[in-house]
Amino acid sequence: MVPTHLEIDPLWREGFLVAYPKRPVNYFVMDIETTGFSPYSDYMIHLALLEVVNSKPVSCTAVYVDWVTRGVFDEPSLRRRLAYIKEQAAKRGKVIDFDFARYSREKIDCILVLKMLYDLIGKAIEAGYSLVGHNFVKFDANMLSSHYSKFYRVNSPFNHIPLVDSGGLEKARQVRLFPEPGEAISQFSLRAVNAGGKGIKWDLHDHCVRTYKLQQKAASLTEHDPADDCMKSHLVLETLADAIGWQP
């Protein structure tokens, strides 16, 4: 059913569909949790990838990333960073409970994780997949690109795969941001995320789940768990695609 509760400007819909007539149906949704917000001094510690085929989730993989063994952090320092994140989230009324015991049991070497991810993105490009995330183009991609530059001395693996930012599209819907002629959807997503707009809300948890009426589908999903956030981003993208008549 097409969700009629979303306000879709007809001119914006038409402009978007002319620019991007083909809806992505095969894609990976990616989400990371990190030790902070700086792409230069913070690190991904939890990564999830949700594979979607023909618009349906088929598998999800999540890994904890070990920076301690490589000496990037010592364990007390990592615990302090995570405690600070939890404290700052609490001030905003958010609950972030990082499972350090599980992290210690299941963590995988950071270099191995980066290599596996790099290889997977390469295969996704060959298969014609897109990459989806919420605020991915501004935060997650920057963080990971910094990791690849620092540890592998290679360019960002995200330069050659279409990036569809569910948060960027939701923001573009509200501010009626139109694609420019010939603009790739990755660039449009980034421009949308960076666009101004007083009072515009596009947060995955507080805004999108409610606005897209996903409360029931998301009821069992934990906020700031990467695997669950991947599922929410997928639901947001598919709901918006249905609402604007974005065809495969």
3-state per-residue secondary structure call for 75-107: HHHHHHHHHHHHHHHHHCCCCCCCCHHHHHHHC
pLDDT in tens, 127-173: 999 999 999 999 999 999 999 999 999 999 999 999 999 999 999 99
Phi, psi (rounded to 5 degrees) for 29: -100, 130
Q: Is the pLDDT of residue 222 over 90?
A: no
The count of other CB atoms within 10 Å of the CB of residue 167 is 25
- With 60 as the cut, is the pLDDT of residue 17 above it? yes
Residue 60 belongs to what H/E stretch? Answer: strand 56-66
Mean pLDDT of 21-42: 95
Kindly state the percentage of the chain with pLDDT values over 70. Answer: 98
Q: How far apart are the C-alpha atoms of 194 and 226, rounded to whole Å?
A: 23
pLDDT of amino acid 41: 92
194-215 pLDDT, tens digit each: 998 889 999 999 899 999 999 9
Per-residue pLDDT of 95-104, as tens digits, reads 787 888 899 9
Element (H, E) at 242: helix 226-244
